[in-house]
Chains A and B, each alone.
Chain A
Amino acid sequence: MIASPLTLDPVFSIGPAPITEPVLVTWAIMIGLGGFAFLVTRRLKLVPSKAQTVLETVVGAVDDQIRDTMQTEPARYRALIGTIFLYVLIANWSSLAPGVEPPTAHLETDAALALIVLGATIVFGIGTRGLGGYLKTFAEPTWVMIPLNVVEQITRTFSLIVRLFGNVMSGVFVVGIVLTLAGLLTPIPLMALDLLTGAVQAYIFAVLATVFIGAAVGESHEIALEPSEQKRKQP
């Protein structure tokens, strides 16, 4: 990747809509993930296979993360948080495929994810607290904080975009530069580092999304804990 990461060239167009590479890679990820999920979940059993065990481990980890962060039952947020984590992880790791540029290395994909998180924050906040209750959260702890809280909503969304974009884009960019300057196998350590960075960034993005939604939902989610969950949380 030696072209500017801030520009996108359409691969082809569907009517007025130009289809760029991140969109194509995302469709490929959607097909792969959806197909894998469909194939594996067709034959779920009480005694799990290896693939089912992997899926259950991932889902369980997502549930635990939501439960630990939001202190609430994870069912309502599982699909969004889990999908964001899996998509960002696979998108970051897609750079391992030759000639594939990660969609997350472009601002549009990161902005789309951040906008979804922002929208989810607002939807879940209003859904839990009501419109008035949600708006009141901007006046906490005092009304003086309203401008700062509004700015915080925007800036933390931008921080999500920039953090993910910067980390993934820089990794891909560095690998491209090293590959241009050095031999064929030289960037392998950097690619391995990109794997770690990509996993960490996926985790960070998912956790931050959970934190933002949890903050919007507020303390009222405590009542949503099931008795079994409350018992589990006791030391």
Chain B
Amino acid sequence: MKIDWWTLGLQTVNVLVLVWILSRFLFRPVTAIIAERQASAARLLDDARAARDAALVEKAKIDEEAARQAAARTVALTSAAAEAATEKTALLAAARIEAEQKRVAAETEFFLARQSETAATADRASLLAVDIASKLLDRLPPEARVVGFIEGMASQLGALPPSTRHDLATSGEEARLKAPRALTDEELKACGAAFSRAIGRPVIFAVEIDPGLIAGLEFETRHALVRNSFRFDLDRIATELTRHDHARQ
């Protein structure tokens, strides 16, 4: 066995040189790139972490904004509901008032129409009565339209208050005597005699023809009005009937 010291030395140097070569061209660059990759990965992780944190912050803001909007929406809905309720109440009240007004107006209109209808009916009835009475009286002698009412008129004059009768007697005023037709002389004399007897003094009057009386007499002065005629009776009957109808309604 023989050791070749030259080979031993050269191999030692060779291996040491190889250590330097590989250290320079292999291990150092490779470890550097591995470290760089790790640093890059760490940076990426940091960036990702920062992005995640930013996203979480943004999400929290969005959640807060959504909650705020939800609260505002609730408030707006509540306000709108309250406003709608108020509006509804006001509309209902206004509708009720309007309906009540319309109902009252309708009732009033109905009442007025009915009154008008009643009045028209009464008028027609009066006209009919007057017409009937006229036609019936046409079958009687002409004297019947006046003579039969002279004493009644005298009785009513006699029933006037004494002061009224006194005024009639002393005022010197000419009274008006309405009659359905022109009075004959006998009828004028009978009227003067009867009226004077009732009042107690002579009465001056002028005769005024009013066919609307149908039959009877009406005595008018400035202080008194005495009616004893069919027209007056028919008017009174119609008035009574109308009042009776109203009371019945």
Q: Give the interface of A toward B (CB within 8 A).
A: 6-8, 17-20, 22-23, 26-27, 29-30, 33-34, 37-38, 41, 44-46, 48, 52, 55-56, 59-60, 63, 75, 78-80, 82-84, 86-87, 103, 106-109, 111-113, 115-116
Is the Cβ of A18 less than 8 Å from the Cβ of B6? yes
B18–A103 contact, CB under 8 A? no
B34 touching A111, Cβ below 8 Å: no
**Which residues of B sit under 8 angstroms from A55, Cβ to Cβ?**
26, 30
Q: In the bound complex, what is the Cα–Cα distance between A44 and B29 (angstroms)?
A: 8
Verify B2–A113 contact, CB threshold 8 A: no
Is B7 located at the chain interface by the 8 A CB criterion? yes
- Contact pick for A41, options B18, B20, B26, CB 8 Å: B26
SS class of chain B's interface: helix, strand, loop or mixed? helix
Q: Is B37 an interface residue (CB 8 A)?
A: yes
Q: Does B36 contact A (CB under 8 A)?
A: yes
Which of A7, A18, A59 counts the most chain B CB atoms within 10 A? A59
Q: Judge if B40 is at the interface, Cβ distance under 8 Å.
A: yes
Report chain B residues within 8 Å CB of A116: 12, 15-16
Instruction: Select which of A34, A82, A107 is within 8 A of B27 by beta carbon.
Output: A82
The yes or no answer to B56 lying at the interface (CB within 8 A) is: no
Contact B30 A107 (CB under 8 A): no
The chain B residue sitting closest to A116, CB to CB, is: B15
Q: List 14 A-B contacts (CB under 8 A).
A: A7-B2, A17-B6, A18-B4, A22-B11, A30-B17, A30-B21, A48-B33, A59-B26, A59-B27, A80-B19, A82-B27, A106-B7, A107-B1, A116-B15
Please classify how large the interface on chain B is, using the bins under 10, 10 to 19, 20 to 34, 35 or more: 20 to 34
Given A103-B11, A108-B8, A108-B11, A83 contacting B18 (CB threshold 8 A) = yes
Q: A8, A23, A37: which contacts B21 (Cβ < 8 A)?
A: A37
Are B25 and A109 in touch, CB under 8 angstroms? no
Query: Nearest Cβ distance between residue B164 and chain A, in whole angstroms?
Result: 138
| A112-B17 Cα distance, complex, nearest whole Å | 13
Contacting pair A37 B22 (CB below 8 A): yes
CB contacts (< 8 Å) of A41 on chain B: these are 25-26, 29-30
B→A interface (CB under 8 Å): 1-4, 6-12, 14-23, 25-27, 29-34, 36-37, 40
Task: Give complex CA distance A45, B37 in Å.
Answer: 9
Smallest beta-carbon distance A174→chain B, Å: 20
B-side contacts of A48, CB under 8 Å: 33
A22 to B8 alpha-carbon distance, docked (Å):
10
CA distance A78 to B17 in the complex (A): 15
Residues from chain B with a CB closer than 8 A to the CB of A60 are 34
Pick the residue among B9, B15, B33 that contacts A46 (CB under 8 A): B33
Residue among A29, A79, A84 making CB contact with B23, cutoff 8 Å: A79
- Asked if residues A112 and B30 are in contact (CB atoms below 8 Å), the reply is no
- Contact partner, B4, options A8, A34, A46, A52, Cβ 8 Å: A8
Residues of A within 8 A of B15 (CB): 26, 83-84, 87, 112-113, 116
Q: Which residue of A lies closest to B41 (CB)?
A: A46
CB pair A108 B40 closer than 8 Å: no
Whether the Cβ atoms of B21 and A33 lie closer than 8 Å is yes
A30 B14 Cβ-Cβ under 8 A: yes
State whether B19 touches A79 (Cβ < 8 A).
yes
Return the chain A residue nearest B38 by Cβ: A228
The 9 closest A-B pairs by CB, nearest first: A79-B23, A112-B11, A37-B26, A41-B29, A108-B7, A112-B12, A37-B25, A44-B33, A108-B8
Given contacts A37-B21, A112-B8, is CB(A23)–CB(B26) below 8 Å?
no
